[in-house]
Amino acid sequence: MIVTQAYRFALDPTQRQASALLRHAGAARVAYNWALARVKANLSQREAERSYGIEDLTPSFGWSMYSLRKAWNQAKNDVAPWWPECSKEAYATGLDQLAAALKNWSGSRNGKRKGRPMGFPRFKSKNKAVKSCRFTTGAIRLDGRTHVVLPVLGRIKTHESTRKLARRIENGTARIKSATVRLDAGRWHVAFSVEVDRPDAAPARPDAVIGVDLGVKTLAVFSDGRPPAENPKHYDHARRKLRRLSRTVSRRTGPDRRTGRQPSKRWLRANDQRNRVHHRVADLRRDGIHKLTTELALEYGTIVVEDLNVAGMVKNRRLARAVSDAGFGEIRRQLAYKTEWNGGRLEVADRWFPSSKTCSDCRAVKPKLPLRVRTFSCEHCGLVIDRDENAARNLASLVKHHVTGSGPETQNGRGADRKPGPAPAGGHEASTSHRPRAGSDEDLCPVMGKSLRITDPSRDGSAVRGWRGLCRGAPRAGRVCSCQR
């Protein structure tokens, strides 16, 4: 299996090398702003000509990386006479970022790009822009275990050993494709994009299925009875320190864009201290998620998670901080590629599957289950179980159903982007209530999510679809069970 993997190392550059790194990052910003100004001027000129009724418009300025780089090479002697001091890859970095931003904006306008609407690119500030530069050609290699070599910058010492990547390169199972340097938390880092030939692997328990229910109170609860993963809440623990440091920053003389005032040295030192706390919280969260996802991917053959609407959850002002601190999206992202690397698979349940409301024993569904109720009590079979553990068991059960003639089949959702409403009356029965009528045959029909495909052994293995799931009781004579309608 050939995958693209990143190896990130902290650098220990000299003062002269640090200045060269800043110069390269500034060159990328200059090329970006210059090209953006040309694009905006061209669009404004064409719009003005249209308003005056001119038919022969000014030729449009190309937005592709090739067009932007060609225009930059023609104008760089006048725009940046100092351009030979930096690598050509520095200018290509800024132009490539602008080409990608314009493509996203254009695709968002005409509907070709999914996701939230993208605005028109803005100019990059010298103080606020991320200082980074990407190298794709030239001398990009490791020099021993403690140094890296980059174009124009030369040989730079690393803060940590590069033996993990060096061993793969020596064995011929890895090839460096590009390198990106970035100033992060006051320290320069280099990230190598490496094409790695990974051997075929298999999890320790390839036939094992585990359901993982993510939450805020407990980060992850599992269906096989293993101890749950507690939520460390790194940001909550650092809030008191951040509050104190933020007060210190507010009392210093900071920058003012309106008057052009420069920040004082004391403000810069206090701001660096506050930023280090933020970066430490992010590093601790990332490290904990990596350990959790790696452990699951190495052991289980199939992992089932929910399709959580994280973007919608963070809009709730009471849950936004806790949800963001838990990192639900990062957990799913890491499980997706780690299960592929280790020979397993990740199954995602439908967003509207009632994992918490469904009884993991008899499959009956509660009409309502508020978040404050942390214990699930089934009124049909009498099961009393923790709410999160019940949801994890229901997630694991999705891949344990079988369809006749096809072997095991995963019971994931249809990919609906909104919750379907009740079926209209007329020609068929009216929408079925969640509460069964007392004494009717519906009491014998536990309810499952409509996105599931369930096999009914009592009817020669035929599949059942709809709000009603597997019927465990025979209907009365002359009457049709709701699951057969």
Catalytic residue among 306, 325, 441, 442: 306
What values do phi and psi take at 406, rounded to 5?
Answer: -125, 0
CB 448 within 8 A of CB 363: yes
Nearest to 333 by CA among 388, 290, 298: 290
What values do phi and psi take at 335, rounded to 5?
Answer: -65, -30
Crossing angle of the two packed helices 265-299 and 234-250, in degrees rounded to 10: 170
Other CB atoms closer than 10 Å to residue 461's CB: what's the count? 12
306 is catalytic: yes
Catalytic residue among 89, 96, 213, 441: 213
388 is catalytic: yes
CA 339, CA 194: separation in Å to the nearest integer?
19
Helices (H), 111-199: 163-171
Nearest to 296 by CA among 219, 198, 197: 219
CA 441, CA 332: separation in Å to the nearest integer?
40
Catalytic residue among 388, 389, 441, 442: 388
Tokens of 147: 């140094």
78 is catalytic: no
DSSP reduced 3-state for 450:
coil
Which residues does the annotation mark as catalytic? 213, 306, 388
